Amino acid sequence: MTPTVDLADVVHRYGSTTALDRVTLRLETGVTGLLGPNGAGKSTLMRVLATVINPDGGTVRLLGRDTADADQRTQVRRQLGYLPQELGFPRGFTAFGFVDYLALLKEFDDRPTRQAEVRRALDLVGLRDVATTRVRRLSGGMRRRLGLAQALLGDPRLLVLDEPSTGLDPEQRAVLRTLLSRAAGHATVVVSTHQTEDVAALCDRVVVLDSGQVAFDGSVADLVDHAAGRVWVAEHPDPDAAAQWRTGTGLHRNLGTPPPGAHLVEPTLEDAYLLLRNDTARATP
């Protein structure tokens, strides 16, 4: 089966900084979480997947089409939904007007069809009731959902969402997960996030980027396994731990080698991610 996303040795630079360094990825239907520290290249990779930037090297095939070719790229864009990390809103637009404007850019030319699709998208994110409210009057969480609504227009086959849960409260994040898991039944959803709990709850697969390179690519369970036998709870912090913090119970969670008197606990995805980051940093000369 042709993968929805097929990247081979993708390189992108900003001046002398290499943002993506020979990234090779093949993604199919389902939700893939993209994790990594700030500056790891996540947003650059998302912009490549959204056909916003042309990488300096390598090949990008999305939905079976080569994005280096203008016609094929346009075909990809017809089946693409994109939520950038930072989304601006034109002055004076209502929630409906904003999504309607994006629907025009997505070539919904027929007015009744377009307006029905805009209503559907606003319904999906629970913003139908504020359709006629000016965007500047909406809360940060509502604006993020509005951004998500425009990404869902046309039920795209490839959804590229850069930090979609930013600014959402727990209830809204649960709705987001429901939405994305539904979309993942027939689409490839790539979610860049700092929220490991979102990845654990939602994603079939996780990719960790570090310094522009793929540091991990596999299932969430595989990444969690990476931390098996390395997460300890003790009464005291371990100064040699890869990471440690005091939990709500008053005990200290230590990642790495066991401090005296510690007992082993089940790792979470966050533990595994932190340990992976620590291991990668140590391996880097």
Q: How far is the CB of 230 from another protein (least distance, A)?
A: 34
Q: How far is the CB of 51 from another protein (least distance, A)?
A: 6
- Name residue, tokens 């980051």: 277
Backbone angles phi, psi at 102, to 5 degrees: -70, -30
Q: How far is the CB of 273 from another protein (least distance, A)?
A: 27
Alpha carbons 74 and 87: distance in angstroms, whole number: 22
Q: Which lies closer to another protein via its Cβ, residue 119 or residue 268? A: 119
**Secondary structure E strands in the chain:** 5-14, 17-27, 30-35, 57-62, 65-66, 80-83, 158-162, 188-192, 205-210, 213-219, 231-234, 243-246, 252-255, 263-264
Q: Which lies closer to another protein via its Cβ, residue 132 or residue 247? A: 132
Alpha carbons 133 and 102: distance in angstroms, whole number: 17
Q: Which lies closer to another protein via its Cβ, residue 40 or residue 135? A: 135
Q: How far is the CB of 136 from another protein (least distance, A)?
A: 12
Alpha carbons 252 and 263: distance in angstroms, whole number: 11
Chain centroid, CA 167 distance in Å: 14
Q: Which residues contact 97 (CB under 8 A, 6 or more apart)?
A: none
What is the binding site for another protein (CB under 8 A)?
A: 47, 50-54, 68-70, 73-75, 77-78, 80, 82, 84, 87-91, 96-97, 100-102, 104-107, 109, 111-112, 115-116, 119-120, 123, 126, 131-132, 150, 175, 178
Q: Which lies closer to another protein via its Cβ, residue 89 or residue 251? A: 89
Q: Which lies closer to another protein via its Cβ, residue 42 or residue 106? A: 106
Q: Which lies closer to another protein via its Cβ, residue 78 or residue 137? A: 78
Q: Which lies closer to another protein via its Cβ, residue 91 or residue 282? A: 91
Closest alpha carbon to 101 in 77, 117, 123? 117
Alpha carbons 241 and 103: distance in angstroms, whole number: 51
SS3 content of the chain, % helix, strand, coil (to 5): 35, 25, 35
Looking at residue 72, what DSSP letter applies? H
Q: How far is the CB of 249 from another protein (least distance, A)?
A: 31
Q: How far is the CB of 3 from another protein (least distance, A)?
A: 20
Q: How far is the CB of 174 from another protein (least distance, A)?
A: 8
